[in-house]
Chain A
């Protein structure tokens, strides 16, 4: 079963249109990559039923999210970019609030996370650093035994140590087969570490959605002279960047000329060059 199925989603705002089909299989981590304003948050808000799509359907954990979706959220843990927790509350108070909201709230798990993440119980959330705030939001999101974790820019603004810690928590969460994670970020390196699937969003359109390992198998990076690049079959070129010394191009391995040396491509290079290619 898919944890999330998005079919023919359309959401229109003045100057922005989102059109999307996407699937997140259970047991997987899907990274939604896109520049600011690409439509990541709109996609996540649509999945969570916070905004109403203009067209299309979204199924989350087997439920249509346009019909009586609130009870399904019992199985969804969410971390938003802005945190969203009341600034004046401390971690202990938050635990008591959440125990009155989630039927599956597990105080022991919550306390474990607080200890593991070195979060003080009696300090107000407003006095936390950005990293601590995010860790507390993650502790809250994971302490009611969710099956699906939805993270909107949860790693942005974190220092590398905290980011690594957070990424480790997400990896641990997906060790259970029935768990799935949808994570959006414009920091591609974070997603590259943990994702099974990556989806590139650009200006409200899905440029690509593939298994991460398959991307590396399918595409390669080539350093070419301008004349060699011009001689390439257009169908082989996914994206390219011209420099004074030549052209850096991402090519389909199956369509690239035989004998051409192709280096492994990073998700970041693939995304940037695909976006640039689209704009050209």
Chain B
């Protein structure tokens, strides 16, 4: 897995550099202004979550999937690496976003808003790759991309509506709702991981 992670880091540095820079800019925008702008807060985490998935399209173009399948790496390891990389990317931007927001929100005594953010960001950052990775690994990049647009259009909107709805509820109920959302995101991500292993092991390359 070490070699695969090394390869992904090289690829992220080549293909994701500009997007990383944009994420940094969005993080700064998200820290400005009086009100929280969810778009600027969500984008870096969403981007970080799907970055390892977008690498699959470059790999398919290069024929890496086929070559990798001739190496002493099981398909399960290939899938595991993809999810580990997704988690690493997500966590890096998740922690960074929370750190920046903590610096903005905590001095204003808005710890609850920070907690809400901490619970809702994984639903975006983890759910997107959780849906895309199995589809992309099994049916290829094109179908994965369709799912991605569908996800961006519908699921993110639902997530944001949910977050706004939760913010209108009383503290205890909202807290429970946010906790449930976080747990659901993690559960879906874990299920997606298992499903991807099954689907990729059956794929003919």
B70 and A89 form a contact (CB under 8 A): no
Give the CA-CA distance A45 to B205 in the complex, in Å: 8
B58 and A88 form a contact (CB under 8 A): yes
- In the bound complex, residues from chain A placing their C-beta under 8 Å from that of B68 are 84
A128 CB within 8 Å of chain B: no
- B3, B15, B62: the one within 8 Å of A100 (CB): B3
A-contact bits for B72-85, CB 8 A (1 contact / 0 none): 11100100000000
> Interface residues of B toward A: which range?
20 to 34
A15 CB within 8 Å of chain B: no
With a 10 A CB-CB cut-off, give which of B6, B7, B74 has the most chain A CB atoms: B7
B62 and A84 form a contact (CB under 8 A): yes
The distance from the CB of B74 to the nearest CB of chain A, in whole angstroms, is: 4
B-contact bits for A76-91, CB 8 A (1 contact / 0 none): 1010101111111100
- A87, A96, A102: the one within 8 Å of B71 (CB): A102
Give the CA-CA distance A80 to B69 in the complex, in Å: 11
- B2, B10, B64, B74: the one within 8 Å of A70 (CB): B74
B72 and A86 form a contact (CB under 8 A): no
A182 CB within 8 Å of chain B: no
- In the bound complex, residues from chain A placing their C-beta under 8 Å from that of B14 are 88
B96 CB within 8 Å of chain A: no
- B15, B58, B73, B204: the one within 8 Å of A101 (CB): B73
B62 and A87 form a contact (CB under 8 A): yes
- In the bound complex, residues from chain A placing their C-beta under 8 Å from that of B3 are 97-102
- A51, A70, A86: the one within 8 Å of B59 (CB): A86
- In the bound complex, residues from chain A placing their C-beta under 8 Å from that of B62 are 82-87
The distance from the CB of A196 to the nearest CB of chain B, in whole angstroms, is: 23
A71 CB within 8 Å of chain B: yes
B66 and A80 form a contact (CB under 8 A): yes
- In the bound complex, residues from chain B placing their C-beta under 8 Å from that of A100 are 1-6
B154 CB within 8 Å of chain A: no
A-contact bits for B45-79, CB 8 A (1 contact / 0 none): 00000000000001101111011111111100100
> Interface residues of A toward B: which range?
20 to 34
The distance from the CB of B78 to the nearest CB of chain A, in whole angstroms, is: 10
Q: From residue 43 to 72 of chain A, which have CB atoms closer than 8 A to chain B?
A: 45, 48-52, 70-72
Give the CA-CA distance A238 to B15 in the complex, in Å: 56
**Which chain A residue lies CB-closest to B69?**
A50
Give the CA-CA distance A214 to B11 in the complex, in Å: 50
B72 and A150 form a contact (CB under 8 A): no
The distance from the CB of B84 to the nearest CB of chain A, in whole angstroms, is: 14
A85 and B67 form a contact (CB under 8 A): yes
A-B contact pairs, 23 of them (CB 8 A): A45-B205, A48-B70, A51-B204, A52-B204, A70-B73, A70-B77, A71-B72, A73-B73, A83-B67, A85-B62, A86-B11, A86-B59, A86-B64, A87-B58, A87-B61, A88-B58, A89-B7, A89-B10, A89-B11, A96-B6, A100-B3, A100-B6, A102-B72
